[in-house]
């Protein structure tokens, strides 16, 4: 029997191979400067398991919401120059999270790319719309009442998001049309971000290429 004939008897390769839930879309980042030292890892196809210790209690609370509602497995261990303030620690974790998302997405083949979510939290509602476009931009329309959440400076929410968006090369629009309590405002933003990110990074079963008319993202 000829080789060619033999080959004919083999079953045709399945075209509609289901993509695994976990396709190895993970990344780990280690970043050390004179201001901060950070170990961060993410699995985009995780189950919302979060272990975070940044030394900034409220920030840990926010990262936990992003991981849990994004269904990411997220580990963050960070130490920073708290004697200055929490700014460098929060910003640098944002840098690492953005880098990790970009690395884990690799060429972005098959992803949904866009994500949005509106998260209500008691008297507050937060809206996120994002595009994993490969170009970073952020619009942040949020008004707080006063400058603190406990000991946490509300300005750091914006610093964190800006650093993350820049390093993930993400177009991120954040708005809170109305809200009262600062804790609720920050938390609703982070929950909406987790949900919107989850949608954007999700593999679309009908999308077989990089979701762009340009061919790359
Ligand atoms: Mn809370």
All domains of the chain in start order, with CATH: 26-201 (3.30.230.40)
Whole-number Å distance, alpha carbon 187 to ligand 1 midpoint, is 6
**What is the tens place of the pLDDT at every residue in 73-88?**
999 999 999 999 999 9
Whole-number Å distance, alpha carbon 185 to ligand 1 midpoint, is 10
On average, the pLDDT of the chain sits at 92
Whole-number Å distance, alpha carbon 179 to ligand 1 midpoint, is 14
Whole-number Å distance, alpha carbon 208 to ligand 1 midpoint, is 39
Whole-number Å distance, alpha carbon 202 to ligand 1 midpoint, is 26
Whole-number Å distance, alpha carbon 62 to ligand 1 midpoint, is 8
Whole-number Å distance, alpha carbon 148 to ligand 1 midpoint, is 14
User: Averaged over 123-143, what is the pLDDT?
Assistant: 98
Whole-angstrom distance, CA of residue 215 vs CA of residue 154: 39
For residue 16, what pLDDT band results from cuts at 50, 70 and 90?
very low
Per DSSP, the residues of 105-151 read HTT-TTB--EEEEEEEETTEEEEEEEE--SS-EEEEE---SSSEETT
Which 8-state DSSP code applies to residue 125? E
Task: Spell out a b/e string for 48-64, using b for 16 or more CB atoms within 10 Å of the CB, else e.
Answer: eebebebebebbbbbbb
Instruction: Supply the angle between the helices 57-70 and 155-168 in degrees, to the nearest 10.
Output: 40
Q: Are 201 and 132 in contact (CB under 8 A)?
A: yes
Whole-number Å distance, alpha carbon 108 to ligand 1 midpoint, is 32
Whole-number Å distance, alpha carbon 184 to ligand 1 midpoint, is 7
Whole-number Å distance, alpha carbon 150 to ligand 1 midpoint, is 11
Per DSSP, the residues of 15-56 read S-PPPPS----EEEEEEE-SSEEEEEEEETTS-S-EEEE-S-
Whole-number Å distance, alpha carbon 114 to ligand 1 midpoint, is 27
SS3 197: helix
Residue 118: Cβ-neighbour burial (10 angstroms; 0-12, 13-18, 19+): middle
The predicted pLDDT at position 23 comes to: 58
Q: Are 104 and 202 in contact (CB under 8 A)?
A: no
Whole-number Å distance, alpha carbon 188 to ligand 1 midpoint, is 9
Percent of the chain with pLDDT over 70: 89
User: Averaged over 132-148, what is the pLDDT?
Assistant: 97
Q: Are 177 and 123 in contact (CB under 8 A)?
A: no
pLDDT at 19 exceeding the cut of 70: no
The enclosing H or E element of 179 equals none
For residue 18, what pLDDT band results from cuts at 50, 70 and 90?
very low
Whole-number Å distance, alpha carbon 85 to ligand 1 midpoint, is 22
Whole-angstrom distance, CA of residue 32 vs CA of residue 59: 19
Question: Which has more pLDDT, 89 or 24?
Answer: 89
Whole-number Å distance, alpha carbon 183 to ligand 1 midpoint, is 6
Whole-number Å distance, alpha carbon 49 to ligand 1 midpoint, is 17
pLDDT at 178 exceeding the cut of 50: yes
Enumerate residues 6+ apart whose C-beta is below 8 A from 214.
none
């Amino acid at each position: 029997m000829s080789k060619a004939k033999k080959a004919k008897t083999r079953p045709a390769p399945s075209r509609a191979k289901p993509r695994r839930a976990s396709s190895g879309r993970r990344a780990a980042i280690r970043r050390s400067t004179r201001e901060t030292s950070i170990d961060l890892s993410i699995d985009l196809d995780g189950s919302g398991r979060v272990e975070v210790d940044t030394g900034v209690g409220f920030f840990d609370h926010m990262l936990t919401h992003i991981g849990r509602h994004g269904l990411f497995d997220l580990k963050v261990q960070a130490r920073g120059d708290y004697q200055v303030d929490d700014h460098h620690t929060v910003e640098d974790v944002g840098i690492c999270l953005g880098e990790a998302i970009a690395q884990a997405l690799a060429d972005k083949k098959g992803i949904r790319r866009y994500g949005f979510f509106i998260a209500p939290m008691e008297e507050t509602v937060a809206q996120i719309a994002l595009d994993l476009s490969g170009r970073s931009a952020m619009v942040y329309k949020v008004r707080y009442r006063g400058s603190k959440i406990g000991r946490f400076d509300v300005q750091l929410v914006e610093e964190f998001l800006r650093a993350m968006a820049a390093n993930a090369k993400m177009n991120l629009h954040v708005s809170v049309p109305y809200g009262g309590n600062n804790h609720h405002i920050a938390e609703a933003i982070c929950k909406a971000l987790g949900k919107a990110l989850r949608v954007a990074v999700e593999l679309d079963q009908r999308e077989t290429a990089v979701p762009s008319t340009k061919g790359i993202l």
